[in-house]
Structure 1
């Protein structure tokens, strides 16, 4: 399957609730590389690289995160980086 990379921003109650930890553990389980970090405006930014289906599963897992709440998501395709791990920044 072909890989894609998405730049994603999650808006809502997504900081201080274990969101980045959940993103990291889920991405690693799904074999997705990339990174996740908090932004000053209270949103969380992520780049995820893997199959389209695995990235959809990651986004769904983040929407279903039990401690916070995602109000809105923006996502766009970006060039592949071919990195090997997923990190919390």
Structure 2
């Protein structure tokens, strides 16, 4: 079943290739949404797709070479029916 979550990642998540890793993982698992850096040093990601694919997406990001996640806040959102891509926002 398709789901959409807002994920807020905390830790060493900026300046370490996080957004590139997220975009690559989203494409690999056929997920849509976006990822962006926040002013407080965290990274926000909205991701939509099969729940199992979203779990694999998070595990792929966690295994990133320089990424060190200390916490993740997760909020379920409404599906965006016509979304077709995963974007890096600035």
1:7 is the counterpart of 2:13: no
Cα offsets for 1:24-54 (capped at 9, x unmatched):
0110111000000000000000000000000
Aligned partners of 2:61 and 2:67 also within 8 Å = no
User: Partners of 1:66 and 1:10 in 2: how far apart?
Assistant: 16
Q: What's the Cα RMSD here? A: 0.6
Structure 1 position 75, deviation (Å): 0.5
| Structure 1: segments with no counterpart, 5+ residues | none
Deviation of the 1:70 alpha carbon: 0.4
Normalising by structure 2, we get a TM-score of 0.95
Aligned residues: 88
Q: Give, in whole Å, the separation in 2 of the partners of 1:61 and 1:21.
A: 12
Instruction: Find the counterpart in structure 2 of residue 54 from structure 1.
Output: 53
1:56 is paired with a residue whose SS is helix
Cα distance in 1 between the residues matched to 2:76 and 2:87: 19
- TM-score normalised per structure 1: 0.96
**TM alignment of 1:57-68, pairs within 5 A:** 57-68=56-67
2:87 — aligned with what? 87
